[in-house]
A and B are shown apart, each in its own frame.
Chain A
Amino acid sequence: MFHDADALLLARIQFGFTVSFHFIFPAFSIGLASYLAVLEALWLKTGKALYLDLYRYWLKIFAVVFAMGVVSGIVMAYQFGSNWAVFSDRAGPVIGPLMAYEVLTAFFLEAGFLGVMLFGMSKVGRSLHFFATLMVAIGTMISAFWILSVNSWMQTPAGHAINAAGQFVPASGWLPIIFNPSFPFRLAHTVIAAYLTTALAVGGVGAWHLLKDSRQEHARKMFSMAMWMAALVAPVQVFVGDLHGLNTLEHQPAKVMAMEGHYQSHAHGAPLILFGIPDDDAQHMSHAIEVPRLSSLILKHDLDAPLAGLDTIAPENRPAVEVIFWSFRVMVGLGLLMFTLGAWSLLARLRGKLYEWRWMKRFAVLMGPAGFIAVIAGWITTEVGRQPFTIYGLMRTAESASPLAAPAVGASLVAFVIVYFSVFGMGSWYLLRLMSRAPQPHEPEPANAPAHAAGITSAPAFTAAVGESRHG
């Protein structure tokens, strides 16, 4: 027989699985929407067809990413209630309005202008079309604002009271809730991560085509733009990530202890554990490779500062070091590699060899998917690090779930895994196929551009679209 503990674990796996899958798409579409807005602005400003070609090339990719983001996002909007009913009931008065604002200010904006962005160029003219692109890009930003505010409130709850029914309700105004202590850091860190993820993906595609033909004009342009972004933003991300970490140390010290692998407290300077094998049962780090006192220097800016370990946290409140220790290292490691790629590209640019250095281009191809992995690793770090709470320190995960029997959750989990892997697997394959084709002069519009009898129908664009739909 199944027990409640099984149902809870299955619900957690299901939420983690669906949210991780979902997060991949917005991480890409936030950056890509802004990139498209920049490309279209450059096209309108300079009149160079090159920018329009790149715009249309990435627009087709954006359409596929966005569709997958939408359908996996609708799942999230309902899963709070279906699987986390007690949490929804109790936290709804605080997080519900923020999520409703996300729908009203962001989702409608994106969806309302997406149709025009994808299919409307020949109908509304350049300026209005650019406006539509801008609205979609701004919509993705607004969406990030609200949902990260919700997530941050769950991490660092503030501005709430508890009513007679046990619900979290606003204590006075909404500003302390929206701008809760970890929100500014999380927002900055995540949006930059989305930009960096996009830059690496665009750069990887550019590098791939440059490896085949280093004179390809379109590939050169996208590679150059992406490498500027990586070179400038990766260092900023290291800095913002550090600030975010210090903020976490202040509000969620147990999470930082788990990230650092500090089971034990250190009275005189804590070492930075580079690698080791964490063992939660024994609360011990074996085979540790460590740099003495460096952790105190990083976290307290003092070599001799004492640093508390998980031994100061009640056992039932400790997060899983075995997960976070690794996910954090994956994120940081990839971040440093991104930094390296940015620096390498700057050096190549200075030498005038940006399009020639083959090893740098190969490295850029390899780093193409790095952003996605880093984003998921970071997400796991912060979410698993919040455990065993849904609302940090106030509401435990174990008391948040819906009263569902394990077979119900087990069946849905299996269905999600099968559907997501097959559908989004196919989708990712289509994305790779779109990316493997080099951008062309006179890049066609999206294939399924609907042609209408009314309005201004552009015959050449339509013919091109037909050709595209035939050849894929």
Chain B
Amino acid sequence: MADTTVLTLVWGAILAFAVFMYVVMDGFDLGIGVLFPMFGVGKQRDTAMNSIAPVWDGNETWLVLGGGGLLAAFPLAYAVIMSALYAPLIAMLLALVFRGVAFEFRWRDPGHRAFWDLAFSGGSLVAAFMQGIMLGALLQGVHVEGRAYAGGWWDWLTPFSLLTGASVVVGYSLLGACWLNWKTEGETQEHARRLMRILAPLTLVALLAVSVATPFLGNEYFQRWFSMPRVLFTAQVPLIICILTWRFIRSLRRNYELAPFVLTLAVFGLSNVGLGISMFPYLVPNSITLQMAAAPPSSQVFMLVGAALLIPLILAYTAWSYWVFRGKVAHEGYH
């Protein structure tokens, strides 16, 4: 029994990692999509898009791993969550259709470039917003009876989920701006820096707002954060975020290129940890725990072998692919 508990925790950790990787990797390229209309037509937009064209597909694969992994390791949670979040989920999937094809279609049809640019930015915006809404809707809890979702199809829509939706949009945008600051130069980079100065404080406000609202949603979140002696541990999270913020401001003043991106990723990482503190040991607040939703050990062990061997390999060749396209994206010749 102890072994199966460990196994389930390991799978919980792997899925948390997949979600984090998704946010790390697709966050900035969705953010670039959100910011797209704020960049000039031509050189700036082409550069922004070219900086992610070779990697967006791999980035989105982490989303598929999140879905596939949840189905495999915690089928009950997958079934309940996906039907509870039906409307925002479908909206996100359709938004990803628009933005994904825009990478190719934009170049195939210069006559309709404006339309596909809109598809790219609108798709990115809606996808990011819906991901935030899904996060909020899950945090505030869904109505479960037996082994099934028992709520309506608009239950997800609350002020809190709108807040998390907006927060994710702002946060992804900051990641996108930081990425462009790192990967571009000249006027595109300067523009990205201006956006960073606006988006960084907005992200902080959003993070603060969500953090303050969450403990008051009920679902024992308050105890998980503030009960002794847990608070000694959980208090480190906002503390480190404060330190990261200070480093971020410094890196912005000194015009560092890579540091703001890495620091923002670290903030996102800590937000993930915070999410873990709020949720654990539940996958669906107050109704389905990791243990309850776990697939049998035979399924989890079978996949664990594959995950242990393949995830390091995937990280290796993904890193290689990023390394191949390292350095600044040039934009000469596009004007």
Q: Chain A: residues with CB nearer than 8 A to chain B?
A: 63-64, 66-68, 70-75, 77-78, 80-83, 85-86, 88-97, 99-105, 107-116, 118-120, 123-124, 163, 165, 167, 169-170, 174, 402-405, 407-408, 411-412, 415-416, 419-420, 423, 426-427, 430, 433-434, 446-448, 450-455, 457, 462-463, 466, 468-470, 472
Cβ-defined contact, B295 with A402, below 8 A: no
> Per-residue CB proximity of B47-59 to A under 8 Å, as 1/0?
0011101110110
Whether the pair B83, A85 counts as a contact (CB closer than 8 A) is: yes
Q: In the complex, which residues of chain A have a beta carbon less than 8 angstroms from the beta carbon of B80?
A: 85, 89
Which residues from A are CB-within-8-Å of B5? Answer: none
**Nearest CB in chain A to that of B154: its residue:** A408
- B-chain residues with CB within 8 Å of residue A86 when the two chains form the complex: 79, 147-148
B310 touches A104 (CB 8 A): yes
Query: Which residues of B (72-102) have their CB < 8 Å from a CB of A?
Result: 72-73, 75-76, 78-83, 85-87, 89-90, 93-94, 96-98, 100-101
Name the residue on B nearest A413 (C-beta): B90
Nearest residue (CB) in B for A87 is B79
User: Could you say which of B68, B105, B310, B321 has the most chain A C-beta atoms within 10 Å of its C-beta?
Assistant: B68
State whether B71 touches A88 (Cβ < 8 A).
yes
| B152 adjacent to A405 (CB under 8 Å) | yes
Q: Evaluate contact between B64 and A103: CB separation under 8 angstroms.
A: yes
Residue of B nearest to A117 (CB): B54
**Nearest CB to that of A104 among chain B residues?**
B310
Instruction: State the Cβ distance, A50 to closest chain B Cβ, in Å.
Output: 24
Establish whether residues B68 and A96, one from each chain, have CB atoms under 8 Å apart when the complex forms: yes
Interchain CA distance A105-B307 in the complex, whole Å: 10
B71 touches A103 (CB 8 A): no
Please indicate the chain A residues that have their CB under 8 angstroms from the CB of B318 in the complex. 108, 112
One of B256-264, B267-275, B298-306 contacting the partner: B298-306
A402 touches B94 (CB 8 A): no
* Also in contact, A116 and B68, with CB within 8 A (given A67-B104, A82-B90): no
Asked if residues B86 and A455 are in contact (CB atoms below 8 Å), the reply is: no
Specify the chain B residue showing the minimal Cβ separation from A171: B298
What's the least CB distance linking A104 to chain B, in Å?
4
Question: Known: A116-B321, A455-B327. Is A404-B86 also a contact (CB below 8 A)?
Answer: yes
**Interface SS, A side:** helix
Inter-subunit contact B67/A108 (CB<8 Å): no
Nearest A residue to B295 via CB reads: A93
A63, A75, A81: the one within 8 Å of B104 (CB)? A63
Q: Is the CB of B89 within 8 A of A78?
A: yes
Q: Which of B106-114, B171-179, B228-236, B239-247 contacts A (4 or more CB under 8 A)?
A: B106-114
| A447 vs B153: C-alpha distance when bound (angstroms) | 43
The answer to whether A472 touches B54 (Cβ under 8 A) is: no
Partner of A99, one of B71, B94, B101: B71
Cβ–Cβ contact A423 & B98, under 8 A: yes
Residues of A within 8 A of B310 (CB): 104-105, 108
Nearest-neighbor residue (CB-CB) of A71 within chain B: B100
- A contact residues around B303 at 8 Å (CB): 97, 100-101
* CB pairs A–B below 8 angstroms (29 shown): A68-B101, A70-B100, A71-B96, A74-B60, A78-B82, A81-B67, A88-B75, A89-B147, A89-B148, A90-B75, A92-B72, A92-B79, A93-B295, A97-B299, A100-B68, A100-B72, A100-B306, A103-B69, A108-B318, A111-B58, A112-B317, A112-B321, A115-B321, A170-B298, A402-B149, A430-B105, A448-B106, A450-B54, A451-B329
Top 5 A-B residue pairs of the complex, sorted by shortest distance between their CB atoms: A92-B75, A454-B327, A81-B82, A115-B54, A96-B72
Contacts of B307 in A (CB 8 A): 100, 104
Which residues of B sit under 8 angstroms from A74, Cβ to Cβ?
A: 60, 63-64, 93, 96, 100
The residues of B that contact A446 with a CB separation of less than 8 Å are: 107
A77 touches B53 (CB 8 A): no
Contact between B67 and A78, CB atoms less than 8 A apart: yes
From B61, B67, B94, B111, give the contact of A111 (CB < 8 A): B61
CB-CB under 8 A for A412 and B86, given A71-B96, A107-B64, A470-B110 = yes
Q: Is the CB–CB distance between B50 and A124 below 8 Å? A: no
Given contacts A96-B299, A113-B317, A454-B328, contact A423 B101 (CB under 8 A): yes
Nearest chain-B residue to A412 (Cβ)?
Answer: B90
Q: Is B326 an interface residue (CB 8 A)?
A: yes
CB-CB under 8 A from A427, the residues of chain B are: 101, 104-105
Closest residue on chain B to residue A174 by CB atoms: B302
From known contacts A93-B296, A111-B58, infer whether A472 and B325 are also in contact, taking CB-CB under 8 Å.
no
A464 to B296, CA, bound (A): 55
Closest to B51 in A: A450
Q: B314 in the interface, Cβ–Cβ < 8 Å?
A: yes
Query: Separation in Å of the B291 CB from the closest CB of chain A?
Result: 13
Q: Is the CB of B67 within 8 A of A77?
A: yes
Residues from chain B with a CB closer than 8 A to the CB of A88 are 71, 75, 78-79, 82
Q: Is B249 an interface residue (CB 8 A)?
A: no
What residue of chain B has the Cβ atom nearest to residue A83's Cβ? B83
Is the pair A77, B299 in contact by a Cβ cutoff of 8 Å? no
For the complex, give the distance between the alpha carbons of A427 and B102 in Å: 10
